[in-house]
């Protein structure tokens, strides 16, 4: 007889939808995950990546005992938790005593977006503080751009676009990265809203777009400027723009420094397409939904700033149905006042983690502690990241699986999955908050991140603050919400909308900049003002519905990775050929998949392939940072086929 029960939780994986989930449990095992019909965004359905997660949850590949490599050339052996924790604590104390806490690096990324992960950051702050990362490989350039332009980065209410007459999707594939927008966009379109998609990559979102333009990769600023030029010429600028925008005259001069045809040539679209976009943009209110790929380029911040400026001068800020939506404030409702009191003695820009570790001196990085992350697979220049971690005196990786990064460690600590964690979650795709509930117990021998830090605190004289139950910290991070009348009981009843946000951002046309006005971009780098001479393919590894980042099932990571290309970009080769893709950073073998819908200057791969299996696109990517925000430049590395 089956013993089936259902429990509610929420998904803290790196995705904007932060879904409400219903887990079906049979005899202590999660056998099914489905969307919570009561969650206002999830509305009863979830992505395939998460619905398939029980396969990982119950995988025989999960680690259940700490692993130690006693010599750099030796193999891992299983050890007990007391031995592992004693060793780790002694190493931390030794390195701090001998070389200072800056000789220890802690690195955390988006393996979980749970709010409680910040308590671990605070642990390292109190122990040291230690060396940490700066910047953000996911959204750093876009965040920096909107902070420069508006003084904050947030969006109108999730459902506000139903007030729009036109929606511009700038490089946004909702079928992969924001699936709960799909039915809402279809509903809006049925009600007369026009949907415009601008993306160099042809994908499924074209099926719900009224207008699709496929520009040169990295040329979105030229499109924004071409539209702005048309708006100025045709007197479609908000006559009150100068009242809430700085640098209107300079922005106009920049837009009019080139003709519409010249801006179109830079973007590799026709002048007619540019005018079509401009005419659509003026049929407002117009909402700009900005994807994350645009800002993962060398001039990514400038690109977002150009789109922001267009939204501002056209009068599409501070109104229902308008906005330049890049991000929703994710952490702002939670209270972190206890942390960030002592700045890190040193930071390494996240995209430069590998070379940054190797170059660090006075003191050198002697120990690395990596958790909620798989940087070897997910950061640029995979091999240098791997080398940096392998060559530290002591590298610790905390993970449920023996990932590319874990294989570089001296000590691996097995930890929980999100279905076994006790946490809260915000979202960068909407304003709803939720509780992450442990729906099953972890396997015997597995500790959560919180339990690991609690155990370490007893060994490192930090027990007074950290040797407490998770519920103590959960209540602590809710203090701002408590003051607004929201308690932990409200989360037991379902999702909670962030009470500190408004339905329409900037409705008073007041901005968080020094002047209180929008800071319009009024200069562009010369690279953005000319047709590029280079026409080679560029490696473009994108999110996929097959896997959440690098969390691929092992059986998928065999043989060459697939690479989609336009046939004209690889003359002399056939569909299905196995070839070598080379960049100045490295080379891997791939299987060609011809797709005539793609531009000849892009080589498309799935994100998160394993470096150890020769399938990591990031092993081909140069380690460099964007023009602002220290984001990774993922899509500007040229490649050749041989």
DSSP labels, 462-511: -HHHHSS-HHHHHHHHTHHHHHTT--HHHHHTS-EE-TT--SSTTTT---
pLDDT recorded at residue 3: 82
Distance CA 169, CA 288 (A): 6
Q: Is the dihedral of CA 485, 488, 493, 498 positive or negative?
A: positive
The answer to whether 285 and 316 are in contact (CB under 8 A) is yes
| 117-127 and 470-477 helices, crossing angle to 10° | 100
Q: Give which of 216, 190, 340 is closest to 269, Cα–Cα.
A: 216
Least reliable range by pLDDT among 405-414, 452-461, 527-536: 527-536
Tens-place pLDDT, residues 382-400: 999 999 999 999 999 999 9
Q: Which CATH architecture has domain 4-57?
A: 2-Layer Sandwich (3.30)
Q: In whole numbers, what is the pLDDT of the chain averaged over residues? A: 97
Distance CA 513, CA 246 (A): 10
pLDDT of 406 strictly over 60: yes
Distance CA 439, CA 150 (A): 41
Distance CA 371, CA 257 (A): 48
Tens-place pLDDT, residues 551-564: 999 999 999 999 99
pLDDT of 2 strictly over 60: yes
pLDDT tier at 567 (50, 70, 90 boundaries)? very high
Residue 15 token pair: 């995705």
Residue 496 has phi, psi (to 5 degrees) of -130, 135
Mean pLDDT along residues 8-24: 98
Tens-place pLDDT, residues 270-287: 999 999 999 999 999 999
**Looking at the chain, how many residues does it have?**
642
SS (H, E, C) 255-285: HCCCCHHHHHHHHCCCHHHHHHHHHHHHCCC
pLDDT of 44 strictly over 50: yes
Identify the residue with better confidence: 265 or 3. Answer: 265
Tens-place pLDDT, residues 105-160: 999 999 999 999 999 999 999 999 999 999 999 999 999 999 999 999 999 999 99
Q: Which CATH architecture has domain 155-326?
A: 3-Layer(aba) Sandwich (3.40)
CATH class as words, domain 534-641: mainly beta
pLDDT recorded at residue 533: 86
The answer to whether 628 and 153 are in contact (CB under 8 A) is no
pLDDT of 534 strictly over 90: no
Sheet with 367-371: list strands edge to edge.
Answer: 76-78, 67-69, 411-413, 394-398, 367-371, 104-108
For 131, 151, 158, 183, 632, the CA distances from 429, given in Å and listed in that order, are 30, 19, 8, 15, 21
Distance CA 278, CA 298 (A): 26
pLDDT recorded at residue 1: 43
Distance CA 394, CA 266 (A): 49
Q: Give which of 59, 114, 102 is closest to 344, Cα–Cα.
A: 102
Tens-place pLDDT, residues 168-225: 999 999 999 999 999 999 999 999 999 999 999 999 999 999 999 999 999 999 999 9
The answer to whether 240 and 248 are in contact (CB under 8 A) is no
| 449-459 and 117-127 helices, crossing angle to 10° | 20
pLDDT of 310 strictly over 90: yes
DSSP string, 305-352: HHHHHHHHHTT-SSSTT--EES---SSTTS--TTS-SS--S-EEEGGG
Q: Which CATH architecture has domain 67-137+333-497?
A: 3-Layer(aba) Sandwich (3.40)
Which residue is associated with the tokens 């079928």?
Answer: 175
Q: Cα-Cα-Cα-Cα dihedral of 271, 277, 279, 280, to 10°? A: 160
The answer to whether 388 and 359 are in contact (CB under 8 A) is no
Percent of the chain with pLDDT over 70: 100
Tens-place pLDDT, residues 96-107: 999 999 999 999
* Biggest distance spanned by C-alpha atoms of the chain: 75
SS3 613: helix
pLDDT of 499 strictly over 70: yes
Tens-place pLDDT, residues 227-256: 999 999 999 999 999 999 999 999 999 999
Helix (H) or strand (E) holding 140: helix 140-150
Residue 20 has phi, psi (to 5 degrees) of -80, 135
The answer to whether 74 and 49 are in contact (CB under 8 A) is no
DSSP string, 338-400: TS-SS--S-EEEGGGHHHHHHH--SS---EEEEES--HHHHSSSHHHHHHHHHTSSEEEEE-S
Distance CA 476, CA 340 (A): 15
Distance CA 45, CA 34 (A): 6
pLDDT of 380 strictly over 70: yes
For 224, 301, 306, 562, the CA distances from 220, given in Å and listed in that order, are 6, 11, 8, 27
The answer to whether 114 and 12 are in contact (CB under 8 A) is yes
- Annotated domain spans of the chain: 4-57, 67-137+333-497, 155-326, 534-641
């Amino acid at each position: 007889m089956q013993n089936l029960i259902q429990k509610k939780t929420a998904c803290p994986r790196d995705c904007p939808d932060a879904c409400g989930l219903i887990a079906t449990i049979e005899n202590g095992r999660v056998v099914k995950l489905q969307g919570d019909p009561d969650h206002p965004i999830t509305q009863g359905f979830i992505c395939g990546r998460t619905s398939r997660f029980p396969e990982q949850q119950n995988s025989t590949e999960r680690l259940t005992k700490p692993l130690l490599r006693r010599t750099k050339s030796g193999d891992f052996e299983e050890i007990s938790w007391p031995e592992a924790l004693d060793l780790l604590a002694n190493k931390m104390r030794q390195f701090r005593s001998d070389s200072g806490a800056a000789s220890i690096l802690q690195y955390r990324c988006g393996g979980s977006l749970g709010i409680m992960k910040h308590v671990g950051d605070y642990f390292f702050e109190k122990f040291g503080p230690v060396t940490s990362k700066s910047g953000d490989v996911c959204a750093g350039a876009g965040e920096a751009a909107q902070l420069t332009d508006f003084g904050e980065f947030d969006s109108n209410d999730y459902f506000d676009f139903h007030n729009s007459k036109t929606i511009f999707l700038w490089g946004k594939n909702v079928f992969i990265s924001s699936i709960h927008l799909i039915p809402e966009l279809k509903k809006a379109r049925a009600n007369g809203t026009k949907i415009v998609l601008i993306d160099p990559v042809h994908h499924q979102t074209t099926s719900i777009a009224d207008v699709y333009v496929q520009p040169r990769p990295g040329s979105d600023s030229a499109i924004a400027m071409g539209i702005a030029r048309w708006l100025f010429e045709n007197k479609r600028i908000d006559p009150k723009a100068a009242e809430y925008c700085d640098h209107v005259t300079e922005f106009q001069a920049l837009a009019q420094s080139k003709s519409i045809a010249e801006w179109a040539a830079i973007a590799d679209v026709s002048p007619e397409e540019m005018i079509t976009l401009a005419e659509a943009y003026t049929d407002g209110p117009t909402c700009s939904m900005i994807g994350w790929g645009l800002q993962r380029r060398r001039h990514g911040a400038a690109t977002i700033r150009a789109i922001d400026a267009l939204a501002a001068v056209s009068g599409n800020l501070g109104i229902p149905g308008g906005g330049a939506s890049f991000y929703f404030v994710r952490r702002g409702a939670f209270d972190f006042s206890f942390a960030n009191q002592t700045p890190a003695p040193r930071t390494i820009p996240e995209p430069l983690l590998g070379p940054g570790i190797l170059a660090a001196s006075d003191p050198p990085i002697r120990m690395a502690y990596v958790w909620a992350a798989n940087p070897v697979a997910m950061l640029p220049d995979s091999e240098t990241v791997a080398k940096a971690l392998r060559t530290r005196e002591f590298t610790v990786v905390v993970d449920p699986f023996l990932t590319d990064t874990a294989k570089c460690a001296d000590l691996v600590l097995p930890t929980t999955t999100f279905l076994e964690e006790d946490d809260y979650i915000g979202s960068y795709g909407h304003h709803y908050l939720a509780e992450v509930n442990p729906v099953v117990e972890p396997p015997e021998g597995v500790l959560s991140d919180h339990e690991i830090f609690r155990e370490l605190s007893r060994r490192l004289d930090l027990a007074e603050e950290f040797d407490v139950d998770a519920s103590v910290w959960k209540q602590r991070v809710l203090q701002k919400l408590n003051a607004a009348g929201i308690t932990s009981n409200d989360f037991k009843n379902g999702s909670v909308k962030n009470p500190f946000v408004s339905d329409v951002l900037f409705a008073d046309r007041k901005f968080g900049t020094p002047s209180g006005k929008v800071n319009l971009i009024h200069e562009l780098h010369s690279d953005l003002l000319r047709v590029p001479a280079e026409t080679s393919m560029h490696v473009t590894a994108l999110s996929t519905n097959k896997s959440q980042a690098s969390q691929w099932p092992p059986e998928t990571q065999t043989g060459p990775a697939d690479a989609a290309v336009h046939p004209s970009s690889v003359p002399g080769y056939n569909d299905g050929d196995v070839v070598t893709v080379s960049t100045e950073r490295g080379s891997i073998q791939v299987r060609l998949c011809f797709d005539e819908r793609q531009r000849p200057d892009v080589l498309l791969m799935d994100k998160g392939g394993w470096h150890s299996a020769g399938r990591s696109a990031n092993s081909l990517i140069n380690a460099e940072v964007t023009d602002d925000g220290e984001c990774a430049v993922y899509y500007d590395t040229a490649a050749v086929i041989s």
